[in-house]
A and B are shown apart, each in its own frame.
Chain A
Amino acid sequence: MSDFDIPTLKENIDRETVESVLALDVDKYKYGFETIIESDKAPKGLSEDTIRFISAKKNEPEWMLEWRLEAFRRWQTMEEPTWARVSYPEIPYQDTYYYAAPKGATGPKSLDEVDPELLKTYEKLGIPLSEQKILAGVVEDGEGAEQLASPYSGNVAVDAVFDSVSVVTTFREELAKHGIIFCSISEAIREHPELIKKYLGSVVPVSDNFFATLNSAVFTDGSFVYIPKGVRCPMELSTYFRINEKNTGQFERTLIIAEEGSYVSYLEGCTAPMRDEHQLHAAVVELVALDEAEIKYSTVQNWYPGDKNGKGGVYNFVTKRGDCRGKNSKISWTQVETGSAITWKYPSCILKGDGSRGEFYSIAISNGHQQIDSGTKMLHLGKNTSSRIISKGIAAGFSDNTYRGRVFAHPKATNARNFTQCDSLLIGDTCGAHTVPYIESRNATAVFEHEATTSKISDDQMFYCLQRGLSEEEAVALIVNGFVRDVLQHLPMEFMVETQKLIGISLEGSVG
């Protein structure tokens, strides 16, 4: 750690904390390699022709093309949002490629068909695909499953998205036995049009916001998951996104549907090469949880953050929303945000079903010239709905780290409950940490609590822990991070090490 300039610290900040954050320094971005692979690209720029090109490349039915064109027309009338605490030069939408696909990657069915260069890329990324032989064996004959027994949650099924195209999806047959559909969204559009028509755009409408509408027009791939009634998905589902091509945007679209009584845990990870120019990533993720269903969605976002002078880096403008449509359904978002030059992201829950529950756990670390404006929305519409928000922002370098969240109770949301806690830690005096919660209650029986200091965990919880012999600090760490840790332990091995570094960060010295 000797090569870091450690700023002067106030007494009660743990030195290890500071070193952990500095270790994530932008210069040390280890995923910054580029893979030279031939690729098919759409003509630069955005027009109806580009969209027709994308749609044709994907062999999409006519209704899908119409859907995209309508989105594009809407997008042309919209203005880029400016309310977030981020600043960036104008994005040259007409100077970007909206479609780039590794050549010959129009839908390989097994790893053997995948370009070896690509597999090397994943190897470098250290994603489970590096266990490709075993994985491939399982896909082919189903025998290797036992060899995969790991101390974690068992097997991981992977959908890998390279630039704009899903290149490989593993474990499909195994999943199919349970009736689970896990494939790229392009495939789902062709093979499961009834599900796509019913659910696509039902959580994030086409005209939701500037970036979501852009995504609706030009999305090129992403993952599709369907868990049938009563099925508990036997393994983690996972997607790895990688932007490789120069001047491309990545616009993936993910749709997860959990039928009545089902359960799924889904993980996404993202990386990109180091480049001088900015790359745009505008994804849309839609989750639908029906009666008694549960979806856990975890993200480890590590897009290239730009160099130490703020040059380059990914603009991560993402719309993620889950719809707890059924009674007693549950959606839980966990995010570890360390990458991207700019993050603009608010994974949200619409708590429509009576008794439904939304959770948001976030660790956002910014360094260098990164800007993060992230948080969540918990919209309580049904009766007896509950939500919990735990957000930790850590700012270092010249970065700005903003938590922005909204908790809302509809007049009919009787007995809605929310607990929110957001903590920020600043390291050095050249960065900023900000908290902007919107707390809107339209129902007298709704009880909302919002805390933004580490010392203000509910007295009851503290009392409980303290009288059992824990120190105050241990108690705080236990209460605040307890559930986060629990969720993060479901992440695959590869991300555990990195994530644990973040989890190890001390709670001391926090500001609101």
Chain B
Amino acid sequence: MNVQTPIRLTAAEESLAAQLESVGAGDAAVRFREAGLPTRRVEAYHYTDLKVLLSEVPPLAEAVAGTGAPVFDIPGAYRIVVANGVMQNAGTAPAGVITGKVGGSTLTMRDDTVVRLNSALVKEAVNIELAGSVDPVIHIDRRTDGDAAHVATGSKITVAPGARATVIETVATSDAGHMGNLGTYVALGEGAEVTHIVVDLSATQATQFSTLEYRIDANAKLMSIVIQAGANLARAQIFANFVGEGAHGDFFGLNLIDTDQHRDITLDVTHGVPNTTSTELFKQIGRGHGKGVFQGKITVAKDAQKTDAKMMSQGLMLSEGAEILTKPELVIFADDVVCGHGATCGDLDETWMFYLMSRGIPKAEAETILIRAFLEEIVDAVEDEALGEALSGIVDGWLAQGA
């Protein structure tokens, strides 16, 4: 009963193991062959059973020159293009910004298959150091071109004490079954203020994994926004760690789900020191037979007294086949804290619809008004006007697709 028998690997798992071996990550390959991809029995992947969902893994990407217009254009932004995982020459960096490359993955090793794959497969990552008040939005424009490819990439963003900056990372691909594995590490120095946005705009055949890791030092202020509007199978996992007192984090997320897409946002916030605060607001909207997953865990360590954390997750289902799966979680070891979570899911409120329609607004338009109001709460959080408008464009695009 307790003898461990070797597991049967799926075709996708075989491909991944072979890829690990091909880059010389023998130990990782052995370990991967033992455990395989996570199934629903792994709590963090309860709703995203990768063994079942990931049926194919494309070959590792080959370098191509990334040129052409950005898929996602932010007027006035300083753009760094990463094509098939390789950083291209960027223009002159604005004041307070140093860009370069750093070897290997930037993520902290943890017991997570996606992170382990990223650690073994990333050859080089974008390195950005920020100091002072950085004016233009920094846009890391990641693209995967050509035939279906598996691209493992990363970024390391180090924000000096007291610095202010906005960084957005977008992922876009050509129309093919690409697979992306992005790992970003953001360290906020004391008193730094950072807005960090990750947007997935991959092709609908693609698979995208994004892991974001935040280290938030004393009195720093982070705003993190994740928008998933691309890949057929997407999972964004966010690990945030408060390491200095007086720090604050606002975490926002938006899952725009359509047809048979499966989109997962998994958040893991740890309040490790006293007097830190956070808010979390995650919204999911489902159409067709789409499946939206939100898992949000807030951990308050024993010493983290006076923590204040409030998490809200809302799901809106617009069609019969849509599914919204939510798991907000609190793990609390300190007694003088204010922590809470709320979760709702349902369809458009009949009374609101009645209100609008009774004022002569046609049904379709009333629906759009309510849906837009639901979604824009996330986008409205962005201060930079041009960036906010660009993000609104994603919401508009999604609405237009369903019209």
A residues in contact (CB < 8 Å) with B: 10, 76-77, 79, 83, 411, 424, 426-453, 455-456, 511-512
Contact = CB atoms under 8 A, between A and B. Distances in A.
B123 interface: no
Contacts of B331: 432, 434
10 contacts: A79-B2, A435-B329, A437-B328, A438-B325, A439-B343, A446-B346, A447-B345, A453-B342, A456-B340, A512-B339
A79 B1 CA distance: 7
Contacts of B320: 411, 443-444
Given A79-B1, A439-B325, A450 B332 contact: no
A406 B330 CA distance: 15
B335 A437 contact: no
B302 interface: yes
A439 to B, nearest CB: 4
Contacts of A451: 340, 342
Given A441-B317, A449-B344, A511-B339, 4 more contacts: A437-B328, A439-B343, A512-B339, A512-B341
Contact of A438 (B327, B341, B342, B345): B327
Interface in B289-346: 302, 305, 310, 315, 317-346
B335 A426 contact: yes
A438 B320 CA distance: 20
Interface string B331-375: 111111111111111110000000000000000000000000000
B335 A427 contact: yes
B43 interface: yes
Interface in B1-50: 1-2, 43, 46
Contacts of A455: 340
Contacts of A446: 345-346
B329 A10 contact: no
B1 A77 contact: yes
A441 B323 contact: yes
A450 B347 contact: no
Nearest 9 A-B pairs (CB), nearest first? A453-B340, A444-B317, A447-B346, A450-B343, A426-B335, A439-B326, A435-B330, A444-B347, A512-B340
Contact of A429 (B315, B325, B334, B345): B334
B261 to A, nearest CB: 15
A426 B329 CA distance: 16
Contact of B328 (A76, A77, A424, A450): A450
Contact of A441 (B329, B337, B345): B345
A449 B310 CA distance: 16
Contacts of A444: 317-320, 322, 346-347
A284 to B, nearest CB: 22
B367 to A, nearest CB: 13
Given A77-B1, A427-B335, A429-B302, A440 B342 contact: no
Given A450-B344, A452-B340, A441 B315 contact: yes
A450 B1 contact: no
B41 to A, nearest CB: 8
